Amino acid sequence: MRADAIRNLDAVLQTGARLLAEDPSTSMAAIAAEAGVDRRTVYRRFSSREALLEAVFHAKLDAVDEVFADARLETAPVAVALHRWVEGIIPVIRRLPVDPEQVPCDTEGHARMLGQRARFRGFVRRATEEGVFRADLPDTMVAPLLYRIIELVAVQFPDLEPAPASDLVVDTLLSGIGKS
The answer to whether residue 7 sits within a structural domain is yes
Task: Give the largest CA-CA distance in the chain.
Answer: 58
* Same domain membership, residue 25 and residue 55: no
pLDDT-derived band at 138 (thresholds 50, 70, 90) equals confident
pTM of the full structure: 0.88
* Same domain membership, residue 55 and residue 115: yes
* Same domain membership, residue 31 and residue 10: yes
Out of 18-22, 24-28, 100-104, 133-137, least confident range: 100-104
CA neighbours within 13 Å on the CB side: how many for 108?
Answer: 6
pLDDT at 100: 79
CATH number, domain with residue 120: 1.10.357.10
Other Cβ atoms within 10 Å of 61 Cβ, number: 20
The answer to whether residue 93 sits within a structural domain is yes
The last residue of one of the domains, among 30, 47, 64, is: 47
Concatenating the DSSP letter of every residue in the chain gives --HHHHHHHHHHHHHHHHHHHH-TT--HHHHHHHHTS-HHHHHHH-SSHHHHHHHHHHHHHHHHHHHHHHHTTTTS-HHHHHHHHHHHHHHHHHH----GGGSPP-HHHHHHHHHHHHHHHHHHHHHHHTTSS-TTS-HHHHHHHHHHHHHHHHHH-TTS-HHHHHHHHHHHHHH-SS--
- The 10s digit of each residue's pLDDT in 4-61 is 888 889 999 999 999 998 898 899 999 999 999 999 989 989 998 889 989 999 999 9
* Same domain membership, residue 157 and residue 70: yes
The answer to whether residue 180 sits within a structural domain is no
* Same domain membership, residue 83 and residue 4: no
Question: In angstroms, how far is CA 166 from the centroid of its own chain?
Answer: 14
* Same domain membership, residue 55 and residue 42: no
CA proximity to 96, closest of 16, 178, 9: 16
* Same domain membership, residue 31 and residue 59: no
pLDDT-derived band at 102 (thresholds 50, 70, 90) equals confident
Task: Provide the domain count of the chain.
Answer: 2
Out of 80-84, 133-137, 166-170, least confident range: 133-137
pLDDT at 1: 64
CATH number, domain with residue 11: 1.10.10
* Same domain membership, residue 88 and residue 35: no
The answer to whether residue 5 sits within a structural domain is yes
Q: What is the mean pLDDT of residues 98-123?
A: 86
Q: What is the mean pLDDT of residues 121-134?
A: 94
The answer to whether residue 139 sits within a structural domain is yes
Cβ 38 vs Cβ 71: under 8 Å = no
Report whether pLDDT(123) > 90. yes
Residue range of the domain that includes 84: 49-175
The answer to whether residue 30 sits within a structural domain is yes
The answer to whether residue 72 sits within a structural domain is yes
* Same domain membership, residue 34 and residue 53: no
pLDDT at 4: 81
- The 10s digit of each residue's pLDDT in 62-96 is 999 999 999 999 999 999 999 999 999 999 999 99
* Same domain membership, residue 74 and residue 19: no
Other Cβ atoms within 10 Å of 74 Cβ, number: 11
Cβ 63 vs Cβ 95: under 8 Å = yes
* Same domain membership, residue 113 and residue 36: no
* Same domain membership, residue 56 and residue 108: yes
